[in-house]
Amino acid sequence: MGPNACGLDEERCTLPTLQRRHMAIARLKHPANFGRTAKQVKLFVLVLVPSKEKGTKNALETARTFATIIADLDVRQRLLEAHAEHEFLQLVVKQSQMMLSEGMVIAMPADGGTQQPAQEREKLCSIGRGLKDDLRRRSACYVQDFVDGFVGNKTLQKTISTTFFLYFACILPAIAFGILNDHNTDGKIDVKKVIIGQTLGGLFFYVFGGQPLMVLLTTAPLAIYIKIINTICTDFSIDFFSMYCAVGLWSSFFIVLYSVLDVSRLMRWSTRSTEEIFAIFISIAFCVDASRDVLVDFRKNYWSPACTGAIPDHNVTSNGTANDTMAVVLDCQREKSLLFLLLMLGTLWVGVSLYNFNKTPYLEASKRELLADYSLPIAVLVMSFVGSFLFADVNLAPFRYKDEQALGLVAMQNMSVAAVLGSALLGFCLSLLFFMDQNITSAMVNNPGNKLKKGPAYHLDLMVVALLNALLSLLGLPWMHAAIPHSPLHVRSMADVEERVEQGHVYEIIVKVRETRVTGILSHLLIGLSVLLLPYPLTYIPPPVLNGLFLYMAITALNGNQMFERITLFFMEQVAYPPNHYIRRVPQRKIHTFTACQILQLGILCVFGFSPWSYMKTTFPVLLLLLLPIRHRLIPLLIEERYLTAMDMEH
């Protein structure tokens, strides 16, 4: 029957001397090259059938049955991981029985053919229904969420590597945003508070949350809101922590309402294009933050007056002796800026190179996968060693740290009626940011392409985030919500992938994902223990390595982003376009029109998100929410629905 794209080769023939059918399946130890169109064959099926066999059992139908069974990604992966012949046989028999039962169910619906559309069965008023459904669905899997972190082929390896990945992916942004909040709040929220908040928030969510593959972090938009609150408190002489706590509690109140009233059902209108616009915006935000820090360092050191020759007159004495001149020249420290750039780009290069190492022909497949799993920890440790020890003579300033009491309940005081009303307005805008970020991240994690089995928990996760941020507000710790790209990268770290080659283009497909709470809990226990490592050895991590982490997150998050792939088509000749489904079904002009519409929406988000005026940034959540009606009301006026469906499918 010939090879197919599943790593399967089938051969069938009809022999007149046979009395009954014979089937044989061989699982090869290494993928074999069986010809021009079968270069990665892992399973070989041989079917021999008597020439007088009836039509439903002939060679073609029998081979087609095996092809259908093995075409299932999950089944094929389990067949490749089976340890014994009887286990392999049981999997084949079980899948064939499931196919037979599913066929009977399709032929005869359970309700006798009187099924109604889901929209008709759904009640208009469904207060708390989504939350109840999430609780019922996820509570049934709660114990299994822990078991899946230890049981299974390569599971322990994936759990350990992902734990370290999450540790570095969370602790380094916590330090970076701790530095930013320390600067924005005049030391009221510092690095230690951010690390403690990350520990408490992460453990709280991974114990009580619904979707364990989500990663919660304090983010740049939240740091902006904290800065706005501090500015308001300074302008109107209001106690910072009282105002901060009030805004956080109001926000949590609104998020609880969103959860109970099933407002997350609005996310059914969130399509792949909306999610990818937001994902690229986050990648741009990481690049902007890193570039801004590079620019600040170069202005301070490389382009300082002492280096450019613009030395003020008062720095040189009247006689202008050589000693006086040397004292001024010593202030020129261009090596700091060069080392800053070296460490930042070095962290990016080492991390991305190891992340893509499994696509190279070097070493064995298992070792390549191991290096790819530990790409981020290796990059951080290597470049921290380079910056702190190999270039020890270059004095890079560590981040500021104050050893003070970090925990304590906020005593709300001196809050006037106007301050309470103002905090309610800020809390409402903040709740919209939580709602959109949390649900868009959840939609990306629960994308059908990720092959998750236990179901989503939009409403439950919102409720847990609301309760969590209420607690953080009372303790004066920074807020948290699900973060991009950390959450999709967490899914990718716990996944088994399969490579496909089509017309020279290589792409990966997720086969299965281990949905477990173990990695999140272990990584945040390590983050909690890191408080004991302050100030040393954590201060040995140079600030440019933190910026290199941001660039690493930005670059790796673009992997599989269809909008980014379509942007590259603007600079590619048409004959070199990849053989994607939408390339075959949508005219080139419509593809570019849709991409241009997305770029325009992304540009508007960037104008408001990166505005120099802090108050203007508070409207960002509203703009994010407006992407939904733009996609469903305005874009269809330019592009036909059948083309939009092809370009904007979930998977």
Q: Which pLDDT value is given to residue 119?
A: 46
Strand ranges inside 105-250, DSSP E: 216-217
* Rg of the Cα atoms in the chain: 29
Q: Which pLDDT value is given to residue 112?
A: 39
pLDDT band at 327 (very low <50, low <70, confident <90, very high): very low
17 CB-contact burial (10 Å; exposed 0-12 / middle 13-18 / buried 19+): exposed
- Report the 10 Å Cβ neighbour count for 44: 19
pLDDT over threshold 60, residue 116: no
pLDDT band at 587 (very low <50, low <70, confident <90, very high): confident
Measure the CA–CA gap between 211 and 217, rounded to whole angstroms: 15
pTM, two decimals, is: 0.76
Lowest mean per-residue pLDDT among 11-25, 332-346, 553-567: 11-25
Q: Please give the DSSP secondary-structure letter assigned to residue 38.
A: -
Lowest mean per-residue pLDDT among 2-11, 76-85, 139-148, 531-540: 2-11
Measure the CA–CA gap between 82 and 101, rounded to whole angstroms: 24
pLDDT digits (tens, 9 = 90+) for 569-578: 888 887 777 7
pLDDT over threshold 50, residue 563: yes
Token pair listed for 495: 């996944």
Query: With left for phi above 0 and alpha for psi between -120 and 50, is residue 577 left, alpha or beta?
Result: beta
Average pLDDT score over the chain: 81
Give Cβ neighbours of residue 312 (< 8 Å, ≥ 6 apart). Answer: 305
Token pair listed for 218: 């304090």
185 CB-contact burial (10 Å; exposed 0-12 / middle 13-18 / buried 19+): buried
Lowest mean per-residue pLDDT among 20-24, 35-39, 422-426: 35-39
CA angle 212, 213, 218 (to 5 degrees): 95
Please tell me which of 402-406, 414-418, 421-425 the model is most confident about, judged by mean pLDDT. 421-425
Q: Which pLDDT value is given to residue 7?
A: 53
pLDDT digits (tens, 9 = 90+) for 435-488: 988 988 998 898 888 888 888 899 999 999 999 999 999 999 999 999 888 898
Distant-in-sequence contacts of 184-187, Cβ < 8 A, 24+ apart: 184/223, 184/226, 184/227, 184/230, 185/226, 185/227, 185/230, 185/240, 186/230, 187/402
The residue-averaged pLDDT of 522-539 equals 86
Q: Greater confidence, 502 or 611? A: 611
Token pair listed for 401: 């740290």
pLDDT band at 204 (very low <50, low <70, confident <90, very high): very high
Number of H helices, E strands in the chain: 27, 8
Q: Residues of the chain with pLDDT > 90: what percent?
A: 25
pLDDT band at 363 (very low <50, low <70, confident <90, very high): confident
Token pair listed for 409: 């309940």
Q: Which pLDDT value is given to residue 126?
A: 66
348 CB-contact burial (10 Å; exposed 0-12 / middle 13-18 / buried 19+): buried
Q: Which pLDDT value is given to residue 313?
A: 43
- Specify whether the CB–CB gap between 482 and 218 falls below 8 A: no
Nearest CA to 9 out of 87, 66, 78 is that of: 66
Lowest mean per-residue pLDDT among 75-79, 345-349, 425-429, 644-648: 75-79
26 CB-contact burial (10 Å; exposed 0-12 / middle 13-18 / buried 19+): exposed
